[in-house]
Amino acid sequence: EAQVTQNPRYLITVTGKKLTVTCSQNMNHEYMSWYRQDPGLGLRQIYYSMNVEVTDKGDVPEGYKVSRKEKRNFPLILESPSPNQTSLYFCASTYWTGTTGELFFGEGSRLTVL
């Protein structure tokens, strides 16, 4: 089954404690990306990756890091989480054509930073 898998789905942590949200896709997609979804602000892109070892900042990259060492995996790293990073996070992948691309989303990871 084609899917994007995120873990953990739910996480409560404390300020400053490093955490990683994993994302894996089994569709051999080149393009992967991370979003956060907040009430009234919609989905905002954090980082994206066009392919292995190629990553770029989205609209809200501050406080986040990513890596793309393998095509299937694109983890999101919060080195020192703060309460303003409490949000619902989605990972997505797409077969990239340059002009179109259906985003396949993971189920989401709800993060609370106390």
Footprint on this chain of another protein (rule: CB under 8 A): 31, 33, 35, 40-45, 48, 50, 56, 58-59, 90, 99-103, 105-108
Which residue's CB is nearer to another protein, number 44 or number 72?
Answer: 44
Give CA–CA dist 28/45, Å, rounded: 21
Which residue's CB is nearer to another protein, number 50 or number 52?
Answer: 50
- State the minimum distance, in angstroms, from the CB of residue 43 to another protein: 4
Residue 102: count other Cβ atoms within 10 Å of its Cβ. 10
Residue 89 tokens, joined: 């996070």
